[in-house]
Amino acid sequence: MIKDVVKRFYDEVLNVGDLDVADEIVGPEFAPRGGSVRGPEALKQTARYLRNAIPDLRFDIEDLIAEGDRVAIRWTLRGTHEGDFFGFPATGRPLEVRACVVFRLEDGKVAEIWPVIDSSSLPRAA
């Protein structure tokens, strides 16, 4: 089921840090935000970056909806802001970021994602 793939993306790869799972759930052309690295390695790099910025990060899934080859998810990321987070320097404070993301799956693997981050939830200067 395509919902299970997206749940594993968050629960196993991002929350737990089991990077080997990326090889099972991400297709070869996957590239978040049009990055130059593709495939499972792109997700592994993203997971390393996020876990460096927020070592205790936790993505809590609020909604998960699937139709055809698409999955829409609404989540809240929580954790302590300990490193650079997309240009925001570490604050050492609790962080809570909200977003909605649409995934497209192909052959049972994540092929594309389109995230929309709630900018009002991003860190502010200390």
pLDDT at 28: 95
Domain ranges in the chain?
2-121
pTM recorded for the entire structure: 0.91
- Taking only the tens place, the pLDDT of each residue in 67-115 is 999 999 999 999 999 999 888 889 999 999 999 999 999 999 999 999 9
CB 111 within 8 A of CB 25: no
Structure-model confidence comparison of residues 121 and 52, the more confident one: 52
Is the pLDDT assigned to residue 24 strictly greater than 70? Answer: yes
- Residue 26, classified by CB atoms within 10 Å of its CB into exposed (0-12), middle (13-18) or buried (19+), is buried
What's the CATH number for 2-121?
A: 3.10.450.50
pLDDT class of 116 with cuts at 50, 70, 90: very high
Is the pLDDT assigned to residue 126 strictly greater than 60? Answer: no
